[in-house]
Chains A and B, each alone.
Chain A
Amino acid sequence: MRTSKRTPPRDSALLRDAAAIAAAMIAVGGSFGAIAVAYGLPLWVPFAMSTLVFAGGAQFLAAGLLAAGNPVAAVLAGLLLNARHLPFGMAVASTIGPRWRDRLLGSHLMTDETVAFTLREEDPGRRRRTYWMIGLTLFTSWNIGTALGVLIGTAAGDPDVLGLDAAFPAGLIALILPSLQDRATRAAALTGAGLAVVLTPVLPAGLPVLCALLGLLVLFLPRFAGVQGGSDS
């Protein structure tokens, strides 16, 4: 374990992190493929979803609803769950840059993990490299995983046995931890997270996470006056 002072991770460290997340993505993509097949959906469905939708949570949710014969609910629930990509897009827009080719291609690579890895970096050049490398790695590994899952079928069904359901939240926390050093960000994030958990039992999937944005309102409290993301604690 590294206990020395935090230094910006080098490219080799980024590669190693990318490999770790890719391995996890192959496993989860595998369970998605297997589950879709187990639901009795046609074989092309998981492939089409992993390439065209490319958003894990929405895919699991939509596959379940499609299998239940409710395509309208599948689309609405999936879109609701993915609405967070709009604020994500605004946060990484400057990293993706002004070129149309980059914007059109880069937008499709936008996921929770891509955004989290990118915002961890300070330097604009590193952010850019991180965004593309993590984005392409995730897209590739997710689709490889899906294909393996379809091939193996139900054998790889339950990601919980491997504890993968704990791996993703832990990974996200590790990625946002540096941002949480900022007092105002921490207050907003913790308030938002609390709100989302409380609302999860009562609101449809996707909405509680969006409601977390209300956590940003704490920045209007007198103690954060003028901070709004500025100075460190």
Chain B
Amino acid sequence: MTLLVAILVLGAGTYTMRLSGVLLRDRLELSEPVQRLLPMAATTLLAALATTAALMESAAFAGLARPLGVLVGAVLAARRAPFVVVVVAAAATAALLRLAGVQ
């Protein structure tokens, strides 16, 4: 019962935040500069998410394998490799490094 309530509250809360962003955008009369700021804010959040996920595991450094894998993917992405290649190369690099004993 507690489990169900917790999941329902988490689901409803998450959905509310998703929907409020969408609805707020209409309610607020946003000036031109603020409107241009929104995609920049989203990109900033995504960059922070990618960087923390690449480097950190909970509160500590994630070890070498993951950041090196991400680095290989990022270099490929910068060289305009297709998305699939970026993702697979990053995963393969990290997996192979771990296989070789690098954590």
Q: A residues engaging B (CB < 8 A)?
A: 1-3, 6, 13, 16-17, 19-21, 24, 41-42, 45, 48-49, 52-55, 58, 62, 66, 71-72, 74-75, 78-79, 82-94, 96, 98, 103-104, 106-108, 110, 112, 115-116, 119, 160-177, 179-180, 182, 184-185, 188-190, 192-197, 200-202, 205, 208-210, 212-213, 215-216, 219, 228-230
Contacts of A92 in B (CB 8 A): 21-22, 42
In the complex, the answer to whether B58 meets A192 with C-beta atoms within 8 Å is: no
Most-contacted residue by chain B among A108, A173, A200, A210 (CB, 10 A):
A173
Contacts of A200 in B (CB 8 A): 52, 56, 59
In the complex, the answer to whether B47 meets A193 with C-beta atoms within 8 Å is: yes
**Roughly how many angstroms separate A87 CA and B37 CA in the complex, as a whole number?**
10
In the complex, the answer to whether B70 meets A24 with C-beta atoms within 8 Å is: no
Q: B residues engaging A (CB < 8 A)?
A: 2-11, 13-15, 17-26, 33, 36-56, 58-60, 62, 65-70, 72-74, 76-96, 98
Q: Pick from B14, B62, B85, B89: contact of A53, CB below 8 A.
A: B14
**Roughly how many angstroms separate A86 CA and B42 CA in the complex, as a whole number?**
10
In the complex, the answer to whether B8 meets A52 with C-beta atoms within 8 Å is: yes
Pick the 3 closest A-B CB pairs, nearest first: A89-B21, A170-B73, A166-B69
In the complex, the answer to whether A116 meets B51 with C-beta atoms within 8 Å is: no
In the complex, the answer to whether A201 meets B92 with C-beta atoms within 8 Å is: no
In the complex, the answer to whether A205 meets B58 with C-beta atoms within 8 Å is: yes
Contacts of A212 in B (CB 8 A): 44-45, 47-48
In the complex, the answer to whether B18 meets A85 with C-beta atoms within 8 Å is: yes
Chain A residue with minimal CB distance to B86? A174
Q: List 14 A-B contacts (CB under 8 A).
A: A3-B79, A75-B6, A78-B10, A79-B10, A82-B14, A84-B45, A85-B21, A90-B24, A163-B94, A165-B66, A175-B46, A189-B43, A192-B45, A230-B36
